[in-house]
């Protein structure tokens, strides 16, 4: 049977033979749980008893839950502050690091180090930095100068930026490396031509560097957007006693899902939240991929 196939057909058979493993893997590990989660979102289930049909009840509850809207807002705050901030910071660092020769490798290593550190360990260290006197580093410094203490984490306004800061810092190293690779990939001939024409650095930056970095920028935006939309470990570890607090000021959607599922054992409601998160991630990614395609 196999013998009678044309070479083209044989190639297809072999391609599928090799593809079978990842396809199987994705079906079992990704698609089946995803489908199951969507199914559970229409049911009530406390992990122990039987699943019962709930119809759209979980989604209705979500729509009317003030905590969900607060959490929704937080999630987008993480995205809208985190992504542009880390993009600008990492570009500025990469741009200048690229021009620097002195201790270049060492500095690059320093920027990359936080990315390699465990998020949990990092979150706990920052959590202690943020404490009040007598143990908090920042507040000890402030009080050393006679400046009143700042409530970093125990504040409804300061907590979210305080939690976001180490998350941005942690992701910076990776983005700097990607930007530097992007910068190196720009052919030097453009810069030489610009030099001959005698244009200023601003024009070089806006007319040559940034346009040619576009694929890199799109990649970083997509990548870090997904990261900030799914932020969990920094928030959870910096606020473990009062996850997402105070008063839900730092709670992202993933933490709400975790809490509903594994503290409240309300799997149906948690699944409904997951479906919403999935939809948001899908839409954001599609929009960003669209931007990439218009290239």
- Would you give the end-to-end CA distance of the chain in angstroms? 46
Q: Which pair of tokens denotes residue 108?
A: 């690059």
Nearer CB in complex with another protein: 124/223: 124
| From 4-12, 97-105, 125-133, 169-177, span contacting another protein (CB under 8 A) | 125-133
> Do residues 87 and 210 touch, judged by C-beta distance below 8 A?
no
Position among 4, 6, 64, 241 found at the interface with another protein (CB under 8 A): 241
User: Distances in Å between the alpha carbon of 154 and those of 145, 190, 256?
Assistant: 22, 52, 19
Are the beta carbons of 162 and 153 closer than 8 angstroms? yes
Residue 48 beta carbon to another protein: minimum distance, rounded to whole angstroms: 3
Size of interface with another protein, in residues (CB under 8 A):
31
Task: Name which of 44 and 86 has its Cβ closer to another protein.
Answer: 44
Q: Among residue numbers 129 through 158, which ones bind another protein (CB under 8 A)? A: 131-135, 139, 143, 146, 148-149, 153-156
Of 24-32, 124-132, 168-176, 182-190, which part binds another protein (CB under 8 A)? Answer: 124-132
Q: What CA–CA distances, in Å, run from 290 to 55, 60, 172, 213, 217? A: 34, 31, 25, 17, 14
Q: Does 127 bind another protein (CB under 8 A)?
A: yes
Nearer to another protein, 187 or 264 (CB): 264
> Minimal distance in Å, beta carbon 156 to another protein?
5
Determine contact, residues 217/84, Cβ cutoff 8 Å: no
Q: Examine residue 92 and tell whether it contacts another protein (CB under 8 A).
A: no
Of the two residues 108 and 251, which places its CB atom closer to another protein in the complex? Answer: 251
Binder of another protein out of 9, 117, 242, 279 (CB under 8 A): 242
Calpha distance 268→278 (Å, rounded) = 15
Q: What is the rounded distance in angstroms from the CA atom of residue 67 to the CA atom of residue 62?
A: 9
**Which of 185, 164, 175 lies closest to 221, judged by CA?**
175
The residues binding another protein (CB under 8 A) are 44, 46-49, 127-128, 131-135, 139, 143, 146, 148-149, 153-156, 241-242, 245-247, 259, 262-265
């Amino acid at each position: 049977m196999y013998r009678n196939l044309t070479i083209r057909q044989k190639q297809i058979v072999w391609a599928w033979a090799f593809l079978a493993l990842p396809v199987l893997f994705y079906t079992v590990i990704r698609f089946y749980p995803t489908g199951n989660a969507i199914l559970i979102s229409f049911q009530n289930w406390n992990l122990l008893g039987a699943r019962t049909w709930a119809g759209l009840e979980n989604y209705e509850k979500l729509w009317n839950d003030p905590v969900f809207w607060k959490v929704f807002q937080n999630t987008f705050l993480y995205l809208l502050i985190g992504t542009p901030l880390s993009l600008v910071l990492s570009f500025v660092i990469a741009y200048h690091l690229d021009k620097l020769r002195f201790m270049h490798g060492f500095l690059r290593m320093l920027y990359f180090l936080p990315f390699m550190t465990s998020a949990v360990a990092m979150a706990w260290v920052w959590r202690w930095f943020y404490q009040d006197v007598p143990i908090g580093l920042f507040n000890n410094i402030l009080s050393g100068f006679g400046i009143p203490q700042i409530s970093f984490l125990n504040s409804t306004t300061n907590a979210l930026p305080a939690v976001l800061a180490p998350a941005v810092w942690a992701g910076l190293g990776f983005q700097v490396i990607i930007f530097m690779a992007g910068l190196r990939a720009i052919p030097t001939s453009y810069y030489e031509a610009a030099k001959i024409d005698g244009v200023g650095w601003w024009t070089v930056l806006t007319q040559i560097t940034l346009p040619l970095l576009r694929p890199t920028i799109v990649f970083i935006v997509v990548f870090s957007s997904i990261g900030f939309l799914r932020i969990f470990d920094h928030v959870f570890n910096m606020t473990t006693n009062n996850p997402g607090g105070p008063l839900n000021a730092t709670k992202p959607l993933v933490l709400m899902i975790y809490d509903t599922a594994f503290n409240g054992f309300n799997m149906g409601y948690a699944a409904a939240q997951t479906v919403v998160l999935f939809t948001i991630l899908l839409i954001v990614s599609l929009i960003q991929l669209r931007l990439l395609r218009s290239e």
